[in-house]
Structure 1
Amino acid sequence: MEHRLLTNIISVREFEKALRKGFFGQLIDLFRFGTSHLIPMDAVTSMLGFSSQRAIGRMMVPVKKIIGSEGRAYQFSRRFRPKSTSLKSRWIRIHQAMEEYRPLPPVQLYEIGGYYFVRDGNHRVSVAVAEGIPSVEAEVYSVDFPGSLEGANNLKEIEERIRVVQQKSFFNETGFSTQNNDIFETTFLLGYEKLYRAIRESGLSAERWYGELFLPAIRLMREKEICKAFPGRTCADIFLLFYGFLREADDKDLAKRVFIETARRQRRKPRFSLFMPGK
């Protein structure tokens, strides 16, 4: 009884310490990583599009490589410190179990590009960090991604890593020369995958698709200055916006006229200004 009371007191103190460290750590992480919380896994998987996954099995995983969570990204800091007292009761129970050497089930993690995201066991990882435990036992599921995310500290850097891999895959699959990279440049999430899908859906070879559909559309947009109607977007972006319409239209000349008129209307839309017009 006395031992259980003592471990409870220790666990409460450790939680309060972790909470304080989490508060000050968030300020440091904002400057260091550009974010004060864990990276949400759903944001990363949305960048990947459809990706298969497979079970790897049980292994020891360094806690420093666990950077995100599937469902609790905003409840823990970037270093897995608790951010709210609402986590207190469960966190303390986990800490007490560790203090009393009671067995705990392994955490469940997703692996993407060498980094890990918690599927189940956020509190266990948090307690392990507080106790200075370097690795946790985990059941690991690997999400298919032919690249590395290691060294990326926030979503922006992760997106850039993913974009580079998807761009490389696009050129490998189509056989296009990377010297034409500028014409295919896209800012859309999954933009290169969408371009590749457009080729496959066309029923044409990549070479014919480029010469008969994509290049004429890009030339038309440049000739009519259509891309200027969409600031911050590339011509490949605009192609993707209108692709379905251009592909399905029976009357190609009519499609082009509608395409141009739609862009002109876009250009005439008023832009928001920080400055009030003069009286």
Structure 2
Amino acid sequence: MYDPKAHFGESPIQDYAAAHRQARLRRIWANLTGKSTSLIPFEDLKKALGLLIQRYRGVQPVPLDKIIGSFGRSNDFDRAFLPTQQHSRRKWLSVDSAYLMGVTLPAVSLYKIGDAYFVVDGHHRISVARQKGQAFIDAEVTEVESRVPVTADLALDDLDRLAACRKFLEETKLDKLRPDSDKCLGLSMPGDYARLLDHIRVHKYFTETTDSRELTWEEAVCHWYDHVFMPLVEAIRQNKLLDDFPGRTEGDLYLWIIEHAYYLSQKLGRDLAPWEAAKDFARRFSRRPKRILDRAAKYVRSLLVPGELEPGPPAGAWRQARVEASHRDHLFVDILVTLSGAPSGWLALSQAAEFARREQGTLRGLHVATSDEEESTARGRSILEEFTYRCESLRVRCTASLSVGDIQEEIIDRSRWVDIIVINQRKVHGRWAERPLGTIFQTVASQAACPILAVPGTQVLPLKHALLAYDGSPKAREALFVLRHLLACWQIEGTILTVGDTRADSELLDLAIRYVEESGGHPVSRRLEHGRPAEVILQTMEDTGADLLLMGGYGHQPLIKALLGSAMDQILREAWFPLLICR
């Protein structure tokens, strides 16, 4: 009767028993977790990738943890090269005995594809070496070229995805046209490559229609990659969105965000910059614990706290989110104009057009219908048609959007997508738009994510002289930043006013003057006055002939402001000029 102990000794038998037992435990764990521990069959990978060209690379040390598959024996060992079949026992014991006696074994034979290796000959030698804790093994390596990147973490479930990627590259030739594309074109789902192809075909059609010329398929692929895909990928990288969605690829996020951008463009009536869509997608759907907690806290707060009492974004959030993120020269490129259809509102539109011309911006008309009944929406469409006609007459770019819902909620929500909101704040259909905790205008001015231009709608002013009411608060410093821009880009006169009579007030005013003049802005006039702030500001507007007032937003918390009012409210009631409220 055959006795293995007589041939191999006690130690190899114990080694094999331990390896086989460990393989059984891994198989049980794999069944419980649903994660495969199988080797990748080289034959299946070759079929998926269409591998043909081979090059002999000689003998070289190979990391054992990068050997992930087998040619012909993938059922005899698992992914850790533990023996799973008893018929391998005798050969395994023989190799282990030679290892223990210090016998030099010949190099194994491997195929290399990308960063992964597949065993042609030497399965038992690799199994024993891994069981002994070796990190490398000498191998004769034959490299097999693949159009699709293959990594050492490849799983059996990935073969369909690799086959889809290969088909995509064969149709687009992106790996040849844009060699760096392999770094960002990985997708998690096989079917998503067909969606990418659809994107390219649609892009080709619209580009040919817009440019009135026919593109070759290769030109369309490159144009899509350079002008659609990569700008969004760059936005993903700049905002570090892969950290928000662990286990996903840049290609995955591209598909998610491009669909999110389409949804937003339909809602807002305009296309979005890649960075805008990427940041909003992360804000809404990020899986980072902090962002999840922020969304949960916001939801709970919305249930407990009336919307009018929300404090709104912190000072400077608008500049950080839109101006600095977009790296542009103009501040007010996207200008939201709220439309009610009132006659004074059309005068406010003409004032907004002056902003648009000077800032090379686009007016984004918005009418909010309070119900979706046909009469209400028909009136909204009529107002938007009038808006479009007037913008064409004023020769400014425009888009128009009709929304149904709460007026202040819709305006506040849209404020994240624009650089300034123009509101004819005086009256709405002959009466103040009052609510229990203040007017709609007050709530919007407190909570909007961007500056507000409040226009009386009584006349259109040329905007030749801007007055800044400056008190040194964070919101007033944002208004100082805007004033510097207006002086430099609009070539207008400027005055900075501080209301106070102390030395500290004078020094504060001097610092503001120095900030504007040392930053390349035009010289500004200095006014230090004392008295009731609202009265002083209105009198100074009249004395200087200024036709644009800049102020920081409401200084009190919403509840205190609702109970006590503010200097800004008094100014708004008496203003004959536009008031730019910064935050």
Per the TM superposition, whether the score is higher than 0.5 is: yes
Q: 8 Å contact 1:113–1:146 — kept in the other structure? A: no
Q: 8 Å contact 2:110–2:142 — kept in the other structure? A: yes
Letter in 1 for 2:105: L
Per the TM alignment, residue 30 of structure 1 is displaced from its structure 2 partner at its CA by 4.9
The aligned residue for residue 15 of structure 1 is 16
The aligned residue for residue 76 of structure 2 is 75
Q: Cα 1:161–1:48, aligned 2, differ >3 Å: closer, same or farther?
A: closer
1:260-275 to 2 correspondences below 5 Å: none
What count of residue pairs does the alignment treat as equivalent? 184
1:49-60 to 2 correspondences below 5 Å: 49-60=50-61
Per the TM alignment, residue 182 of structure 1 is displaced from its structure 2 partner at its CA by 2.1
Q: Cα 1:150–1:180, aligned 2, differ >3 Å: closer, same or farther?
A: closer
Per the TM alignment, residue 168 of structure 1 is displaced from its structure 2 partner at its CA by 2.7
Q: 8 Å contact 2:51–2:145 — kept in the other structure? A: no
Q: 8 Å contact 1:8–1:92 — kept in the other structure? A: no
> Any stretches of 5+ residues in structure 1 without a counterpart?
186-205, 208-279
Per the TM alignment, residue 6 of structure 1 is displaced from its structure 2 partner at its CA by 9.6
Per the TM alignment, residue 143 of structure 1 is displaced from its structure 2 partner at its CA by 0.7
Letter in 2 for 1:143: V
Query: CA-to-partner distance for each residue in 1:34-70, whole Å, 9 max, x for gaps?
Result: 3232111100001122421110111111111011100
Q: CA RMSD in A?
A: 3.1
Per the TM alignment, residue 165 of structure 1 is displaced from its structure 2 partner at its CA by 4.3
1:244-259 to 2 correspondences below 5 Å: none
Per the TM alignment, residue 128 of structure 1 is displaced from its structure 2 partner at its CA by 0.6
Specify which structure has the bigger relative contact order, considering alpha-carbon pairs within 8 angstroms and separated by 6 or more residues: 1
Q: 8 Å contact 1:29–1:78 — kept in the other structure? A: no
Distance 2:77 2:48 in 1: 22
The aligned residue for residue 181 of structure 1 is 197
Secondary structure in structure 2 of the residue aligned to 1:86: helix
* Structure 1 stretch displaced more, 20-29 or 53-62: 20-29
Secondary structure in structure 1 of the residue aligned to 2:9: helix
Secondary structure in structure 1 of the residue aligned to 2:106: coil
Q: 8 Å contact 2:113–2:144 — kept in the other structure? A: yes
Q: 8 Å contact 2:92–2:124 — kept in the other structure? A: yes
Distance 1:33 1:101 in 2: 40
2:67 is equivalent to residue 66 of structure 1: yes
Letter in 2 for 1:60: P
Identity rate, percent: 27
Q: Cα 1:151–1:126, aligned 2, differ >3 Å: closer, same or farther?
A: closer
Query: CA-to-partner distance for each residue in 1:101-144, whole Å, 9 max, x for gaps?
Result: 11111000001121011000000000011111111110001111
TM-score, with normalisation over the residues of structure 2?
Answer: 0.29
Q: Cα 1:6–1:133, aligned 2, differ >3 Å: closer, same or farther?
A: farther
Q: Cα 1:30–1:182, aligned 2, differ >3 Å: closer, same or farther?
A: farther
Distance 1:54 1:95 in 2: 32
Q: 8 Å contact 2:109–2:139 — kept in the other structure? A: yes
The aligned residue for residue 133 of structure 1 is 134
Q: Cα 1:144–1:33, aligned 2, differ >3 Å: closer, same or farther?
A: farther
Distance 1:87 1:118 in 2: 16
Q: Cα 1:89–1:108, aligned 2, differ >3 Å: closer, same or farther?
A: same
Q: Cα 1:74–1:65, aligned 2, differ >3 Å: closer, same or farther?
A: same
> Any stretches of 5+ residues in structure 2 without a counterpart?
178-192, 202-215, 218-583
Letter in 1 for 2:197: N
Distance 2:161 2:92 in 1: 35
Letter in 2 for 1:111: K
Letter in 1 for 2:45: V
Letter in 2 for 1:18: A
1:81-230 to 2 correspondences below 5 Å: 81-150=82-151, 152-172=153-173, 181-182=197-198
* Structure 1 stretch displaced more, 31-40 or 83-92: 31-40
TM-score, with normalisation over the residues of structure 1?
Answer: 0.58
Distance 1:88 1:151 in 2: 27
Q: Cα 1:78–1:28, aligned 2, differ >3 Å: closer, same or farther?
A: farther
Per the TM alignment, residue 25 of structure 1 is displaced from its structure 2 partner at its CA by 1.5
Distance 1:94 1:65 in 2: 21
Q: Cα 1:118–1:22, aligned 2, differ >3 Å: closer, same or farther?
A: same
Q: 8 Å contact 2:60–2:139 — kept in the other structure? A: yes
Q: 8 Å contact 2:54–2:145 — kept in the other structure? A: yes
Per the TM alignment, residue 26 of structure 1 is displaced from its structure 2 partner at its CA by 2.0
* Greater Rg over alpha carbons, structure: 2
Q: 8 Å contact 1:81–1:126 — kept in the other structure? A: yes
Secondary structure in structure 1 of the residue aligned to 2:75: coil
Distance 1:167 1:102 in 2: 49
